[in-house]
Structure 1
Amino acid sequence: MQGNLSEIDIRSILQLIELGQRTGLLFVETYGLPGNDSVPRYTKESSNRTWFVFFINGQIVYSQEANNSVFRLRDYLRYYRINLQGHETPATTDSDKLSSAPEYGYLWRLLEQDIINAAQARSIIHGLVHETLFDLLSLREGNFIFELDKPLTPQLTTLEIAPLVSKVFKQVQEWKLLYPYIQSPDQCPILTDIDRLRSSLASSTVEKLQHWADGKTSLRQLARFLNRDVLTLAKAIYPYVQQGLIHIASAENKSESTHNHSITPNSDNDRSIKAIVCIDDATAICETVQSILQPQGYNAIAFTNPLEALNRVFQLQPHLILCDIMMPDLDGYQLCAMLRHSSAFRLVPIIMLSAKTSYIDRAKANMVGATDYLTKPFESTELLLLIRKYLNNYEGRSPISRMRYLLI
């Protein structure tokens, strides 16, 4: 059995395997093309991703992403306070099946050496399968092949497909309700307002968040450390993300502006150069703004994707933001409101850009906290006058010093 996920979805494939009580291996491959509607939106968009799911008599034995890594297993072991030194992979085994599933082979090796017990191993396998299905049930594009084969051995547990798929599919649907604040399990939380968090949460909880929410540990890793599913964790922090107390960053911050690939956050030695971010899905507007501002000595950074912009502005710490209103995924009103919820951006001038000239549009911009409103198309003198006006009123105070001032 093989085909394309645009013709038959993963849920139906799993149902067919269960109904036929099949034993074998399901191989799924998807291409990280722009527009792929998979949940891990912030994962490597230019790379292929592949998964294996092993079955016996229509039940799942084990599953993993085919990256030959045991690092997610290490994350689960941290919950049991088992810290494995080094980065060794499982020893060579005579079983071809275990050779293709090193994570599973490593788990059995730990079990045989009494480093973990059978109950812990079963719990870990359940978690590994659960998170793999979460990714697979989110896919809309890709290819699959199911091959009848001998079962993966030895076996510790088997999982019924129907109840597990029903539970995970419901979680995938609930996950979509977290958009646009939280999009991918691979995103990493960062605390942006610790004082306000302390007023809302127990001190012990804040200490844990400070330890893990470092911008490098993903939501999925946190879920493994805490032995929770990632949806439960995401829903727990969602209110604080909405309020701007926690920022959700991309796991990989390699993608820069489409128009400028050498931008770094402002340092103490670079405060004299004002950083201005322009967010507009029209490439022509971004290029126009940069052509006006860069000759004037401004550090002009342009984004055509509002979600990428939201992720990057916390690192760039701009002195002023230009933001289009009508954009896909996240409009300018939503983006402005989200930034204003963070103490880091309460005082940063935000100028809305729009072709609309009505009083209602200007009023809506004012309601979400916009500093001013510039109608498109605009002349270079109009843009420069507005920018100089608000940067001068801002007294040249850097974003870092402004945030410290707010938290004192």
Structure 2
Amino acid sequence: MSGRAAQYSKPLSHYLRVKKLQIFPVLKRLSFSGQITWSAPAGHQWTLFFDRGQLIYGKGGVHPVRQWYRQAQARLPGPELSYSGLQSSAVAAPSASWLRARDYQLLQHWLSQGQLSPQALRDISSNIVADILFDVVQARETQYQLARQLPLAADQTSIYIDDTPLLTSVTDLWDAWLEAGLEAYSPNLAPVIQHPEPIRAQVSPRVYESLMQLLDGQRSLRDLAVKLGQDVLNLTQALQPYIQSGWISLVEVADFPSLEGLDPPGVIGAAPKAALKIACVDDSPLVCKALGQVIRAAGHDFLAITEGSRAIPTLLAQKPDLVFLDLVMPDTNGYEICSSLRKISRFKDVPIVILSGNDGLVDQVRARLLGATDFLSKPMEPIVILSVLRKHLAPARI
């Protein structure tokens, strides 16, 4: 031996993190059935399910519902992903022995009904597991536990995932992520524009308008990648110069409401919850109708106000728990209403969520200075509406 120290082309931490994936061939060789769960000091957990050594599914992490929803939405764009559609599917979704995961049961139900192809289910499951494994690799410190279970019954046989190319793709993505200098960036973070003017000067008006609509802090890098049909690495690299310059920030974004708490309509024995009263002040009857359908399906009362001039007296009389407030109306505007409400003691702490088709940072800042609690762009997906309720109201009442 020459006595020279070994030279690594990659940092040692890379090998230590990727080493976590070496358990896969061991589980396959042992024909393992059950779950492996990784835990991180921050409290996050990631679980993968195996049947006879074959990978079936995964769940957990920072955004367990977001990661399921964005993959399901990409391959099942029908009405089943509305809140009422999910409720109806939850009634019929079977329980798969020890694999009692509501999201998995819903996918299996749609497969049995012919609404989801076997390949689509495999793609959804593979992409969810890929996101989970990347997060496990990116996490600096993790511990794992194994929970052995009996193999699934013959009538519960699932569509298996080929883990060999999956492990290769996760390792390759992690290599590229490090090489691009993105180690400190989690794909679960959401980009939001902080300084629009320098960006406006560098891109076309069309690109600038798209960026303002998409980079609102409500969609993670992974959400955006799936929505735009892009690779998350390429998308993050494209935004990296703006992030490094401080023009765009990466912020944490909340997960969607849990599917495990999805109560089917009319379930006997379900604990009753006091209905919330949610108001919408918007001159568009269509916006109010769409929002009302989601709110009522969730079991809450809904108040629609389509005349801005009637907003304040009606809100004072009805005393809603949360107000969705349009920013631009013919006879008044959301700024004036928001400012007036905040001067009334009854509405000092009531969440006021501004709705607007214009995602300009100036509008957001002005709305927040006048007391707005949150700022969302139209149109909103049903699950985003429910996420807002959960974010700003007591979880026990949602």
Task: Give the alignment's TM-score, normalised by structure 1.
Answer: 0.48
The structure with the largest alpha-carbon Rg is: 1
